[in-house]
């Protein structure tokens, strides 16, 4: 997340280009985590209530690497 903030604060295009691959990795990880949660829901190992918390956490991680349209 520090890389994203640094790129944004400094309006640094080159640094921002390093963030994009990280965004793709985080998106893939978030998708995998969501699918694993669905499996846990179906097996009864987790609850919908916990899923809301998980969804919030994943959304925040995904947002942490999305750069605004300044670039």
Give the tens place of pLDDT for each residue, 24-61.
Answer: 888 899 999 999 999 999 999 999 898 999 999 998 88
Tokens 């295009």 found at: 13
Q: Is pLDDT larger for residue 38 or for residue 19?
A: 38
pLDDT at 69: 47
Residues 6 or more apart in contact with residue 71 via CB below 8 angstroms: 11, 13, 16
Cα distance between residue 70 and residue 4, in whole Å = 12
Q: Which pTM was predicted?
A: 0.65
């Amino acid at each position: 997340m520090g890389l994203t903030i640094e790129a944004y604060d400094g309006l640094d295009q080159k640094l921002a280009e390093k963030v994009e691959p990280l965004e793709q990795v985080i998106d893939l990880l978030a998708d995998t985590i969501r699918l694993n949660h669905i499996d846990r829901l179906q097996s009864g190992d987790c609850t919908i209530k916990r899923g809301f918390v998980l969804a919030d956490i994943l959304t925040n991680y995904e947002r942490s690497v999305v750069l605004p349209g300044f670039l």
